A = this chain, B = another copy of it.
Amino acid sequence: MDTIVKTIHVGFAKPFGCHSCRMNKLCIPLALGSDELDKLDQLNALVQRKNPLQPRDGVFFSGDPFTSIYAVRSGSIKSFCIDTDGREQVTGFYLPGEIFGWDGLANDHYQNTAIALETTSVCEIPYDQLDKLGSAIPSIKKYVMKLISHELNADQRLIALLAGKSAHQKLASLLLSISDRLVVQGLSPRRLWLPMSRGEISNYLGMTVETVSRALSHFQRNNYLHVNKKDIEILDKQALRSLLISSDDTE
């Protein structure tokens, strides 16, 4: 079944390659320099577009052998690990154009599990092939390093958030981060749809669902946001930003 899907994929022409991908300005091709088309073709050749995933479908699971990194084409992904006491810890949310799966590099097995939050399609990029391409094309190699390092920086931002910020600050920070990432996709920075549940948000931010819910209500009361379930409209971005720069959390 799974194999059938695969063979169909390999056999088909690729009508929707990197050339036509909405996300190709965000994804790997950013590394391209002068001889763009040529490189894009090479990339295109190694990227495998996968069947759309349904909500809760997994891309890879903790313990699976590491083979590939993945790019979100549409939809969204959450990654999480199970820590020492069996608790699930969400380690990241990935939106279209973003790349995930690097954590498997350390010991050839994924540490995290990655699942779709909604109907999602991803591109698989086999790591050994990417690596080979990187050896041939320095700009690709450099870009790969930047992608990993970017992930490191994201983790460190999260660490600073978790270690030092109040519940309101954490939530504001997440909302602003998502908003910024929507802008990169060319979407509105004001209207956002949260693909994850309150529970997933609270887990990611190290707090409880109730606190997330109350913080959202609080922001709504203060006209920072309009909240309708997972639909958020940012009414006063400056107010949210100022929560982060001053440690003043009042009002």
Binding site for B on A (CB under 8 A): 81, 83-85, 87, 89, 91, 102-107, 111-112, 131, 135, 141, 145-146, 148-153, 155-160, 162-164, 203-206, 244-247
**Is A159's CB under 8 angstroms from B149's CB?**
no
Number of copies of this protein chain within its complex? 2
Query: Per DSSP, are chain A's interface residues mostly helix, strand or loop, or mixed?
Result: helix
Docked pose: A150 CA to B157 CA in angstroms: 17
**Is B164's CB under 8 angstroms from A83's CB?**
yes
**Is A156's CB under 8 angstroms from B206's CB?**
no
Which B residues lie within 8 Å of A156 (CB)?
A: 81, 91, 103, 111-112, 155
Nearest chain B CB to A131's CB is how many angstroms away?
8
Docked pose: A131 CA to B134 CA in angstroms: 12
Docked pose: A116 CA to B87 CA in angstroms: 35
**Is B85's CB under 8 angstroms from A246's CB?**
yes
Nearest CB to that of A107 among chain B residues?
A: B146
Which B residues lie within 8 Å of A81 (CB)?
A: 156, 160
Known A156-B81, A156-B155, A246-B85: A103·B163 in contact at CB below 8 Å: no
Which B residues lie within 8 Å of A141 (CB)?
A: 131
Known A148-B148, A159-B91: A106·B164 in contact at CB below 8 Å: no
**5 further contact pairs, Cβ within 8 A, besides A83-B160, A89-B163, A106-B150:** A105-B149, A107-B146, A152-B152, A152-B155, A158-B159
- Select which of B84, B135, B247 is within 8 A of A85 by beta carbon: B247
